[in-house]
Amino acid sequence: MVSVHAGTVPAPAARRERLGAHPVPGGVDVVVHAPHATAVQICLLDVEGQELRERRYDLLPGTHGRWSGHLPGVGAGQRYGFRVHGPWDIAHGHRHNPHKLLLDPYARALAGDARHVPQIYGGEVDEDFHPVSDEPDTRDSAPFVAHGVIIDEPEQVQDRPRVPWSRTVIYEAHVKGLTMRLPQVPEDLRGTYAGLAHPATIDHLRDLGVTAVELLPIHAKFSEPALQRRGAVNYWGYSTLAFFAPEPSYATAAARAAGPHAVVAEVRDMVAALHEAGLEVILDVVYNHTAEGGVDGPMLSWRGLDNAGYYLHSTETRAAYLDVTGTGNSVDFRAQHAVAMAVDSMRYWVQHIGVDGFRLDLAVTLGRHGTDFDPRHPLLVAMATDPVLGGVKQIAEPWDVGPHGWRTGQFAAPMAEWNDRFRDVTRSFWLADVASIRAGGRGQDLRDLATRLAGSADLFGHTGIPGGRGPTSSINYVTAHDGFTLADLVSYDIKHNWANGEDNRDGSDHNNSYNHGSEGPTDDPAILAARRRSMRAMLGTLLVSAGTPMITAGDEIGRTQHGNNNAYALDDERVWVDWDLQPWQRDLLATTTHLLTLRREHRALRSNRYTTFRTEHQDWREFISWFDRSGEPMRLEVWFDAGERVLQMLRRPPLPDGGQALVVVNGTVDDAQVHLAAGTEVRLVWDAAWERPEDPGPLLPPGSQVPVPALSMQIYLAEQA
């Protein structure tokens, strides 16, 4: 390493101040936030063989804690980082250490691989990375950390699908895991952004009938030290290293060899290809914490720039963090620069990469004033009112692990939310309750299931807006990346997470699953048939319920993780989607496709308003009615009867061509005879008892008596105008 201190940079020209390093005519303008620093240097890095050469330039202090400068003759492709001088005062939350090269929080691209070595820690640690003193470490970290790379700003994306919420179906996927075993994708493209954009991948998504791909985090990541020590990685990516830069390892080898600008271009091309197919792209983003971990973790970026400001600290001592995310640190969004960083990051991904929305991990942290949550927190208000972000999809994971952290239904418009209540009720009704009944116990009554089918008005029908935010604000799901897959829900009673290296202590013990009589793989045809029916019933419930459905990648083909409900640290065939399908998996794919087609083509299966009451002329309100097995309106006492698990839901949208949809649910362990409650002729278009979709049945007059198999669901439709 050769370092040359090259003096002080000139001030940037009078132009709009933008944080980060941006090419301008004649060079690069640089702005960084470090309010407690006594000096800040920008370090230009050049790799020459095995040697890393560094040129350091002093930035000029400005207002509001910002440091800036202009680098003449510097352009795109230049590696850089910062060294920050200032107090090392742990008691007051300051951890400045100029021996550590810091990544620009606004870096658009990265080069080099961060390595987990003692040199990347701000304080002195031993070879096992345990703190040995309160003194700063004086070893240089530059050879061991990722470097920012200056790139030209990509052009703004103008065209996008703009799918309305009422027609949105989300498909949650991992960039790598989706295509690593997809044989139609060329081997050099598998597991990459380009592989996701390949026609074979897009054809599957489009044929399936989803409208949006929600990608697990693709922000650049750095796996937690505890994982790295045991040779594992954070496969899911919930350990963000850079909020503006894409994860380089998901790019093709060709793009990585061509340079960081090519990695960014591959991401843009992926988004463009999905857009061309009519598919939106939603990013799962992790602004609630960073990869730097707890106070004794590595110093990579924010900790060395403004530890006291970026992170939420204990109310008792500034030497400790208040961790409401369970990851070691939490970003403090009471700080204006933290709010600005998150908003600027989202704007960049929308405007210059082209994404169509965000799923906000542990979103309660984003609305915290320390220990208190406010749905009108400045960051959440900024997102809702921003002219760029206000027009894209925003989805909250409405909880964190801090005080009073479960907030489902408590965010404000236009935010949608993951509805964990829908997940739990659907699983309980079709699985846990059935296990209880077969063991001689009882299940739950029908009230909660009906509430979820109707769009969870108890959660989303308020907030001061007439009608609330509406059912589409409820992101309905049965499975997600964390937890059992759909196939594992019906195959395992308990988690089997031994491969994670945490002695099966990790992952939830509250799964509401049911193995149907045998734990894990079995050759028993009766058990296998029962498992398949349960999967179909849960998919049917998901896709006829009012709200926005989300399907986890691979559930449409019965993907298994072999009972692992927290496979965040596995990156191999155990978690990648296996596209070598058995006949039953092809049948399940056909079923999922059929259900999505029915939902798309029939307005009555896509309720997007709540019904408060039926008016004389049945105006704009959608009319939903409930009936028992005899075709009579549900009586109050039946709703409370846990032994009565047969229900009919009739939807009659007010539109002239809305048609009618009748959903019949039999949650008992016995076949039932049901008198259809439809007010007109209907025909059976799907039955969860069918292994594979069949042709629609004959038109049946109102009141017809039909058999409904045990633990099944049927969908009847009237002829549309």
First to last CA, the chain: 76
Residue reference for tokens 């799964």? 511
Secondary structure (DSSP) of 596-654: HHHHHH-GGG---S------TT--SSPEEEEE-TTSSBPPHHHHT-TT--EEEEEEE-S
**Exposed / middle / buried, residue 603 (Cβ in 10 Å: 0-12, 13-18, 19+):** buried
Token pair of 633 as six digits: 């309106």
Which phi and psi angles does 293 have, rounded to 5°?
65, -155
Asked if residue 570 lies in contact with residue 631, where contact means CB atoms within 8 angstroms, the answer is no
3-state secondary structure of 165: helix
**What residues form DSSP beta bridges with 47?**
52
| Structure tokens, 292 | 């730097």
**Residues with catalytic function:** 361, 397
Rounded to whole angstroms, how far apart are CA atoms 588 and 29?
55
The span from the CA of 398 to the CA of 411, in Å, is: 8
* DSSP-assigned states of every residue in 16-64: ---SEEEEETTEEEEEEE-TT-SEEEEEEEEEETTEEEEEEEEPEE-ST
DSSP string, 537-600: HHHHHHHHSSSEEEEETTGGGT---TT-S--TT--STTTS------HHHHHHHHHHHHHHHHHH
Rounded CA separation 278/548 (Å): 17
> What does the alpha-carbon distance between residue 596 and residue 65 come to, in Å, rounded to a whole number?
52
Name 674's bridge partners. Answer: 706
Helix (H) or strand (E) holding 280: strand 280-285
Tell me if residue 76 falls in helix, strand or coil.
coil
- How far apart are alpha carbons 379 and 377 in whole angstroms? 6
How far is it, in rounded angstroms, from Cα 579 to Cα 557?
Answer: 8
Cβ-based burial of 382 (10 A; exposed 0-12, middle 13-18, buried ≥19): middle
Q: What is the dihedral of CA 507, 511, 513, 519, to 10 degrees?
A: 30
To the nearest 10 degrees (0 to 180), the angle between helices 302-310 and 336-348 is 120
Q: Find out whether 195 and 189 touch, Cβ atoms under 8 Å.
A: yes
Task: For residues 88 and 541, give the distance between their C-alpha atoms in angstroms, rounded to a whole number.
Answer: 57
Chain centroid offset of residue 368 CA: 20
Residue that is written with structure tokens 């939902």 in the block: 599
Closest by CA position to 647, among listed 660, 659, 632, 669 = 632
* Interatomic CA distance for residues 626 and 646, integer angstroms: 11
Prior bond to 10 cis, omega within 30? no
Residue given tokens 């640089």 in the structure block:
30
Could you give the angle at the alpha carbon of 652 between the alpha carbons of 648 and 656, nearest 5°? 160
List residues bridging with 359 in a β-sheet. 284, 395
The Cα–Cα gap between 420 and 417 comes to: 9
For residues 104 and 147, give the distance between their C-alpha atoms in angstroms, rounded to a whole number. 8
